[in-house]
């Protein structure tokens, strides 16, 4: 099942989990519409017609939802009874920490083991260096910034691009570095607008034709930075909020391969007897962590990335 915000890589993870589960002698099923589907019994055997041709598709063909009903024990009991009807004894959920916490409560209530596969473009789940969908989102941002750069250079304008990520600046920092941005504002790094202004003025005097800034939505600084750029640099400044375009797009090769590896690790963990674990990718190695360990740990952006992007905030 997929749950929470959609992310490219969910469909490859579903297909890989189904294929590998079959190879291991299991009978895989799929749940439509996430937690809501568990409650409403939208559970179907994962026949070929349901999972073929989904590898290259963005989003999630199974659908997703955020179900308030799942917080109530009576509805979780209905979900458990629906699983019992078809003999399901283990779950794989592709989603974020909210989905994992919901399934952990479900495990506490009824003892149904689950394996979580982290999928969120925000890349903000503690304990793992990578979440499915991040690479595709970064490439969608890169494509957009490349297009914006063309018009920025043509009119000698300043452009601010706002990325998603909630309170995590990973997308903004990585995109700023990858796209040669002049400014990057994220929640994790203090910024000095006076210092930035002086640096940009010098660059402009030396012949720089346009300015690119990347700001994380968690700073709430998109419109403010755009106005400030216009005033401080005497340039026509525009804001582009990329929004949900970052969630879409056909999964990149990296997301497809990582989805396969996450799925295999999830199935192997369930076979080995893991009860309520989240598959993590840390320092190049796949492993697993208890959801309680992930929930109690604050996510921290990689120190090297923070160091590399610090100069863009001052």
Q: Kind of pairing, strands 276-282 and 237-241?
A: unpaired
Count CB-CB contacts under 10 A for residue 72.
12
Q: Which residues, at least 6 apart from 165, have a Cβ–Cβ distance to it below 8 Å?
A: 121, 122, 123, 124, 171, 172, 216, 217, 218
Catalytic site residue from 48, 49, 109, 122 = 122
Q: What is the DSSP string of 202-255?
A: HHHHTT---EEEEEEGGGT-HHHHHHHHHHHHTS-EEEEE-GGGGG-SPPPHHH
Q: What's the CA gap between 295 and 98, in Å, rounded?
A: 9
Q: What's the CA gap between 267 and 83, in Å, rounded?
A: 18
SS3 letters across 153-205: HHHCCEEEEEECCCCCCHHHHHHHHHCCCCEEECCCCCCCHHHHHHHHHHHHH
Q: Kind of pairing, strands 183-185 and 276-282?
A: unpaired
Task: Output the six-digit token pair for 89.
Answer: 């004894």
Q: Are 165 and 153 in contact (CB under 8 A)?
A: no
Q: Are 39 and 69 in contact (CB under 8 A)?
A: yes
Q: What's the CA gap between 278 and 288, in Å, rounded?
A: 5
Q: Verify whether residue 129 is a known catalytic residue.
A: no
Number of separate helices (H) and strands (E) present in the chain:
12, 10
Read off φ and ψ for residue 27, nearest 5 degrees. -110, 105
Q: Which of the residues are catalytic?
A: 122
């Amino acid at each position: 099942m997929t749950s929470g915000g959609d992310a490219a890589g969910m469909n490859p993870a579903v297909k890989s989990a189904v294929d590998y589960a079959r190879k291991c002698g299991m009978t895989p099923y799929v749940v439509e519409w996430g937690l809501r589907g568990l409650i409403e019994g939208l559970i179907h055997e994962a026949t070929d017609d349901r999972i073929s041709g989904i590898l290259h598709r963005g989003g999630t063909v199974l659908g997703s939802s955020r179900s308030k009903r799942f917080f109530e024990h009576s509805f979780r009991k209905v979900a458990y009874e629906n699983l019992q009807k078809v003999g399901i004894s283990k779950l794989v959920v592709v989603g974020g920490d909210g989905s994992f916490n919901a399934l952990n409560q479900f495990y506490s209530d009824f003892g149904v083991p689950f394996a979580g596969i982290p999928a969120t473009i925000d890349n903000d789940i503690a304990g793992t260096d990578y979440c499915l969908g991040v690479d595709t989102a970064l490439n969608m941002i890169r494509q957009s910034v490349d297009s914006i750069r063309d018009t920025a250079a043509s009119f000698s304008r300043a452009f601010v691009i706002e990325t998603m990520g909630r309170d995590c600046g990973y997308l903004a920092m990585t995109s700023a570095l990858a796209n040669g941005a002049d400014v990057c504002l994220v929640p994790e790094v203090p910024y000095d607008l006076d210092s930035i202004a002086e640096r940009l003025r010098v660059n402009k005097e030396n012949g720089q034709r346009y300015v690119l800034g990347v700001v994380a939505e968690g700073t709430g600084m998109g419109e403010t930075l755009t106005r400030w750029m216009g005033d401080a640099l005497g340039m026509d400044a525009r804001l582009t909020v990329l929004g949900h375009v970052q969630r879409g797009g056909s999964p990149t090769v990296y997301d497809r391969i990582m989805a396969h590896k996450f799925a295999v690790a999830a199935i192997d963990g369930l076979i080995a007897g893991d009860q309520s674990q989240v598959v993590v990718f840390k320092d190049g190695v796949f492993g697993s962590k208890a959801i309680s360990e992930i929930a109690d740990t604050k996510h921290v952006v990689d120190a090297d990335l923070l160091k590399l992007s610090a100069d863009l905030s001052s």
